[in-house]
Amino acid sequence: MFNPIAARLATISLALLSLVMLAVTSCSSIVASGARKSASAAGAGLVVHEWGTFTSVTARDGQSLVWRPLSVESDLPSFIYSIDKGQSWRGLQYRTKSGLPVRVRMETPVLYFYAQQEMTANVKVDFPTGKITEWYPQARSVPSHGIDWGEVKIMPGLRVELAHDLRENHYYPARDTDAAIVEAGGEKQTEHEKFLFYRGVGNFDLPLSLKLVDDKVIVKNITEEKLAQAVLFENRGGQTGFRMLDLSNPEATWERPVLGSNPADLHREMKSMLMAEGLYDKEAEAMLNTWRDSWFEEGLRLFYVVPRRNTDAIIPISIRPEPAALVRVLVGRTELITPEMEADVTSQIVRLDEPSTREAALKAIKKYGRFVEAILSQINFRNTDPKVKTAVNRLLDEMK
């Protein structure tokens, strides 16, 4: 039997239920929106800057070479974390970084943080085509292809003693900036640094290819990204020279630098190039001071800034909350193996069999540092003299 009072009560109940559900949904939306705004506000005052180097080696014909520094290691302070910690291979402290044959070595990226007040951030860098080999401070995890620091604390204005092993090292100049102290905590200890540091090895394409024809360097942009400036530098027997290049065209040919330039001019030009990409004055200075010995050693090389889109593809980064500004300046450093290098090393190789000249010959070869194996491989590839090839293979065996 139909009851009009009961029906009316049911209608009222449904209406009330709809109102309650609408209120709950609205509240949820407001909370979610508030959370998004809160997260956005949390990162509003955060600025992150990064610099680092991608080092590769190219044969004179433009072939990208697989290479290893081997016995010439880029030493780091004893407190740095490494996937090879406590292990060694033929005397190498960083066997993966120094002994693994790859096309590119990612050297000393550092992440600086600037904030208006103390805050926390979650930081993670992926490396899909490579492997992280060293880092500091401690990370939450270092998976096969990346590094995850988890939550770090950014502490502007904090004064704290930073780790130091009381030895001179190219690691320390990177601290000479106005960046905030970063705190990373673990189960056993809390560590502080002026940045997050990492480095690694990988196999991936860089945006430029180089070729040496006579005394001319052919530079070709092999990506769709635009490139700005580059520095073509050469140190031959202690005489140095450089040339500023305009990379606005997809391909261009340049004369090798005239030797005898002023190092102060080179420093100024490179600093200007780094700052044009967004680095602060002290950051650019810190980068140049970090690499002042390695960047300007014996050899012919090109320096350029890798386009941001390429950098983000090679080493994708995640920072939460998202910073208001993120600057990433990764410098491509491409070594060119020249005919002069090959001829010089070849002339020394034939002296290795004589005890009276062996020590001097080895010293002359070792001036090419981390790129000796690459030079030897090119001599072995091009030289047809059986005596030279035998001597090269013997030296390669000693180095391996």
Q: Which of 146, 145, 107 is nearest to 123 (CA)?
A: 146
State the Cα–Cα distance between residues 54 and 122, nearest whole angstrom.
25
Q: What is the mean pLDDT of residues 240-255?
A: 96
Query: Taking a C-beta distance cutoff of 8 angstroms, is the pair 140, 148 a contact?
Result: yes
Q: Which residue has the higher pLDDT, 8 or 77?
A: 77
Long-range contacts of 393-399 (CB under 8 A, 24+ apart): 394/352, 395/349, 395/352, 395/365, 399/70, 399/71, 399/372, 399/373
Helix axes 263-276, 281-290, angle to 10 degrees: 130
For residue 224, name the pLDDT band (cuts at 50, 70, 90): very high
Q: Provide the token pair at 309.
A: 């889109």
Let me know: does 395 contact 345? Beta carbons within 8 Å: no
Distance separating alpha carbons of residues 323 and 392, to the nearest angstrom = 52
Tell me the pLDDT of the chain averaged across its residues. 88
pLDDT band at 104 (very low <50, low <70, confident <90, very high): very high
The residue written with tokens 């904030």 in the block is 115
pLDDT of 129? 97
Query: Which domain, by its residues, includes 388?
Result: 340-399
What pLDDT does 20 receive?
40
In a domain, 229, yes or no: no
Tell me the average pLDDT across 280-306.
96
Domain presence at residue 4: no
User: Which of 16-25, 60-69, 76-85, 337-346 comes out lowest in average pLDDT?
Assistant: 16-25
Helix axes 386-399, 372-382, angle to 10 degrees: 150
pLDDT tens for 344-373 read 999 999 899 899 999 999 999 999 989 999
Supply the pLDDT for residue 92: 58
Rg (CA), the chain: 27
**Whole-number pLDDT of residue 96:** 72
* Residue 325 within a domain: no
Q: Is 258 exposed, middle or buried (0-12, 13-18, 19+ CB in 10 A)?
A: exposed
Distance between CA atoms of 174 and 362, rounded to whole angstroms?
33
Q: Which residue has the higher pLDDT, 16 or 367?
A: 367
223 domain residue, yes or no? no
- Average pLDDT over every residue of 111-138: 97
pLDDT, residue 312, reads 98
Number of domains the chain contains: 1
Q: What is the band of 8 on the pLDDT scale with cuts at 50, 70, 90?
A: low
| pTM, entire model | 0.87
Q: What are phi and psi of 36, to 5 degrees?
A: -65, -45
Indicate whether 141 pLDDT > 70: yes
Among the listed residues 202, 238, 208, 219, the one whose alpha carbon sits nearest the alpha carbon of residue 101: 202
**CA atoms of 83 and 127, how far apart (whole Å):** 15
For residue 398, the model assigns a pLDDT of: 84
Element (H, E) at 54: strand 47-58
Tell whether 288 is covered by a domain.
no
Q: Tell me if 376 is assigned to some domain.
A: yes
pLDDT in tens, 85-97: 755 545 556 667 7
The closest of 295, 384, 380, 388 to 349, measured between CA atoms, is 388
Average pLDDT score over residue span 281-293: 96
| Side-chain half-sphere exposure of 289, counting CA atoms within 13 A | 15
Residue with tokens 């080092």, as numbered in its chain: 55
Per-residue pLDDT averaged across 118-147, rounded? 96
Weakest-pLDDT range from 42-46, 119-123, 147-151: 42-46
User: What are the pLDDT digits (tens) for 190-211?
Assistant: 999 999 999 999 999 999 999 9
What pLDDT does 187 receive?
A: 73
SS3 194: coil
What would the 3-class secondary structure string for 128-187 be?
CCEEEEEEECCCCECCCCEEEEEEEEEECCCCCCCCCCCCCCCCHHHHCCCCCEEEEECC
- Backbone angle region of 90, left / alpha / beta, with phi > 0 → left and psi within -120 to 50 → alpha: left
Mean pLDDT on 21-30: 47
Q: Is 357 a member of any domain?
A: yes
| pLDDT confidence tier of residue 281, bands split at 50, 70 and 90 | very high
**Residue pLDDT, tens place only, 332-343:** 999 999 999 999
Residue 50 inside a domain? The answer is no
Q: What is the DSSP string of 101-132?
A: -BSEEEEEEEEEEE-SS-EEEEEEEE-TTEEE
Q: What share of the chain is helix, strand, coil (3-state, %, to 5)?
A: 35, 30, 35
Q: Which is more confident, 71 or 317? A: 317
Q: How many residues does the chain have?
A: 400
Model confidence band, residue 9 (pLDDT cutoffs 50, 70, 90): very low
Mean pLDDT of all residues in 153-167: 95
* Mean pLDDT, residues 72-76 taken together: 68
pLDDT tens digits, 168-183: 999 999 999 999 999 9
At residue 72, the pLDDT reads: 57
